[in-house]
Amino acid sequence: MIRSLTFQGFGKFGRETFELSPVTVVFGPNEAGKTTFFDGLFQALCRPSEAKKSGKILKERYGAARQATAVLSGDAAITDEEFLSLYAIRAGDLNLRLDQGTDWIEKLKARLFHGGLDPAALIAEFQKRSSDSRSVAINKELEKARDAAARMRSDLEKLRREREGHLAREREVAGMEETLSGLRARMDAAREEDGRLERELESEERIAQRQKLAAHLARWEEWTALEAEARSLEPFAEDRREEFEVLAAAGRRSAEAVSNARGRREHCADLLAESRSEARAAREAVETAAPRAALARRLAEEARSLLAADAGGLGPGGMAGAAACIAAALAGGILGRGLLALGAVLAGLVGAIVSLFASLRMRQSAVARLRESALARWKDEWTAAIGPSDGVVALASLEGFAKAMEEKAREKETGEARSREAAGRCEARQADLERAEAELARCKDGEEAAHRDERAWLQARGAESYAEYLRKTARAALLRGEIGKRRAELEALAAGQSSDAWRAEAQRKLRDLDLEGVPGAGRDDAAVQRMRNRRAALQREKEDIARREKDMIDRKAGAAGEIRGAIGKLAAEIVAAEDGLAAAEEAVRRLELDKRAAALALSIFQEIGAGADMLLAGLSREIGGMLARILPEGREVALAGLDEDRIRAGDAAGASRALPNLSTGTQHALVLAAKLALARKHRDGPGLFVLDEPFLAMDEERETRALEMLREFRLRHGWQIILLTKEARLRDKMGALFAETRVIELGPRVRESRI
């Protein structure tokens, strides 16, 4: 058993040691190093010489400095031939490598066959007698007999070929009559078909004649209809579009005038509506301002009255006091003399001035109180009637209040002026609208007159619209050219006759064809052309048949006499040649039988000398038993020897096939079973079995059976198993079937685990 494997400078493994178990799975994807592991295991166990092919391959792959060593328990010496032929199965390698003469095969034979019998003398004798050496007398005699038989066989074949040639010609002559009968039948059929086609083509020609007459009459009817239409379009013969264009231009101008007048009318209507809206708003403003203006006018009058009442200056008391003082001063001046009189006057004047000033101050104070009271009352009245608006409440002087009320009173007059202005604008714009409507009516009348002129012009020429007039004018121009062409065609058809006479003749011929029952429609032109082509082909076919019939009659007459003379002479020559060949072949068979007997005896004694029969049968049963563990239907295995092509097994249909002729899956199963059986026979005690992707061609059921067989083989014989795979499924299945399986996962980092 291999306990560990160490690599150094070996491909992917620079310096790596792997611990191995009784069951080890080396798992990894492609290019992970499984092939390197297999080659290293081979290097460590077998140490192949670089002079051999296997050693050369390892050197080329990994270099001369590669190293791979294994730590073993027990004797595990294995040659490279034993390893590759017995203890290893590589992916895709279905060979057993049972090469005779190799050391391991001889060792296997020595272990398989024993017994003390040494048939060497008999084998040497039979080898001499079965030898192919040309110096042996029997081989010289056999060579002469074979040459004689070959010459006679060649002569006989030549005579037979000559006879077969004559017999073939005889059969050909016999077949010529059948061919002639066939040619005559083909000629009759061709003639019959040709006659039928001739009748059908004549019928098609009558149909074509009827169709031609009908078409000509239809053309005449079309010409008549065109002439009638041209007569109806005579008013349109002269192109007078320019006249209508003048009328149309006037109509367009009228329409444009109507459009402009309508625009002006709409503009006037819009302006009138705007003025009416302004007038309505002005009236509403006057109506709203009337009560306010009346109140403002009253308050303004009262304020002005109050202001006028206060403008009187001094009161009656002040005036009376001042008058008394002045009177006293005058009296003193009159009565007094000198300075006394002057003083009295001055004192009287000063008293009058003081009295006036005091009276004035009292008057001013009373007026101010009266004005404030009246102003407050009037502002309250205005606010109660109108509301706190227009800044009236903020007025502090009676003069300002009077002015404000006068302005409020004048607002009605301003509104009435505006209302009168708006009413004036409404009247002016109403007049503009009436003038615009009158202008629009005149334009419409002009437009309608223009349209009446257009309709009258069209009706005078028999057209409902200008488009119809154009269409009829164009049609009239077209008809003038078309009628001329049609007239020329009809004159050509009439060939000098009058058109009426020609028409009557054509109608008569058409009636005659109708009375004959000629249909109005036949096959299309393509079908008629095919019929003509077919008839031409039949004519060529009849000519060809007639030529071939004449040629065959001549050949038949010439070959009949020649064949009768040649066949009679060849019969005797063939009989003599057959007798001579039979004698020569009998001599060859006798001599070959002697050699085969000697070779068979040699083979028998070689097998007997090896003790093969019984032991190979036992080995066959053992391999078959293992194979049955893998293939559920059971297959019979037979070993006729240890050569690969002598190992046979039954296929799915039960037929026995050599190993290379089995299906790939069956080959894999048989190679696995055979290697297990042969390896166990080859080695005493536990050994090593290496499998590199061994189940690629097996389905899952066979794969499972093969693994179960390996498990039983390991449990029974204690062999170490190393399996290399890229299938995770197979790795897991190995772990499930084999106890304490070690898994080595190859990749960027090598990992080892136990399942």
Give 113's pLDDT tier (boundaries 50, 70, 90).
Answer: very low
> Tokens 């304020």, residue?
303
Residue-wise pLDDT for 255-277, tens only, equals 999 999 999 999 999 998 998 89
Beta carbons within 10 angstroms of residue 443's beta carbon: 22
Distance of alpha carbon 172 from the chain centroid: 63
DSSP secondary structure code for residue 653 in this structure: T
Mean of the pLDDT values across residues 300-317? Answer: 68
Q: Is beta strand 647-650 parallel, antiparallel or unpaired with respect to 688-692?
A: unpaired
Instruction: Give the least confident one: 1-15, 496-510, 653-667.
Output: 653-667
Is the per-residue pLDDT at 183 higher than 60? yes
> Which ranges constitute the DSSP H helices of 612-683?
612-630, 664-682
Rounded distance between C-alpha atoms, residue 149 and residue 143, angstroms = 10
- CB contact at 8 A, 583 and 204: no
* Token output for 309: 């009442």
3-class SS string, 527-560: HHHHHHHHHHHHHHHHHHHHHHHHHHHHHHHHHH
Mean of the pLDDT values across residues 546-562? Answer: 78
Q: What percent of the chain has pLDDT over 70?
A: 77
Give one word for 353, left, alpha or beta, with left for phi > 0 and alpha for psi -120 to 50.
Answer: alpha
- CB contact at 8 A, 649 and 626: no
Q: What is the model's pLDDT at position 115?
A: 37
Report which of 217, 136, 182, 412 is spatially closest to residue 295, judged by C-alpha positions.
412
Rounded distance between C-alpha atoms, residue 575 and residue 559, angstroms = 25
Instruction: Give the least confident one: 210-214, 539-543, 589-593, 697-701.
Output: 589-593
Mean of the pLDDT values across residues 708-735? Answer: 90
2-115+611-754 has which fold? Rossmann fold (3.40.50)
Taking the CA atoms of 231, 235, 241 and 244 in sequence, report the sign of the dihedral they define.
negative
**CA count, 13 A, side-chain hemisphere, 565:** 4
Instruction: Give the least confident one: 96-100, 450-454, 484-488, 577-581.
Output: 96-100
- CB contact at 8 A, 283 and 458: no
Q: DSSP 3-state assignment of 343?
A: helix
Integer-rounded Cα radius of gyration of the chain: 73
Average model confidence (pLDDT) for the chain?
78
Helix axes 612-630, 664-682, angle to 10 degrees: 130
209 versus 358: the higher-pLDDT residue is: 209
Give 323's pLDDT tier (boundaries 50, 70, 90).
Answer: low
Q: What percent of the chain has pLDDT over 90?
A: 12
Give 755's pLDDT tier (boundaries 50, 70, 90).
Answer: low
Burial 41-66 (b: 16+ CB within 10 A, else e): bbbbbbebeeeeebbeebeeebeeeb
Taking the CA atoms of 73, 79, 83 and 86 in sequence, report the sign of the dihedral they define.
negative
Rounded distance between C-alpha atoms, residue 442 and residue 448, angstroms = 10
In terms of average pLDDT, the best of 187-191, 200-204, 212-216, 627-631 is 187-191
Q: What is the model's pLDDT at position 118?
A: 42
Q: DSSP 3-state assignment of 5?
A: strand
Rounded distance between C-alpha atoms, residue 108 and residue 116, angstroms = 17
Residue-wise pLDDT for 40-53, tens only, equals 999 988 888 888 88
Mean of the pLDDT values across residues 42-65? Answer: 87
CA triple 99-43-690, angle to 5 deg: 65
Residue-wise pLDDT for 200-213, tens only, equals 888 888 888 888 88
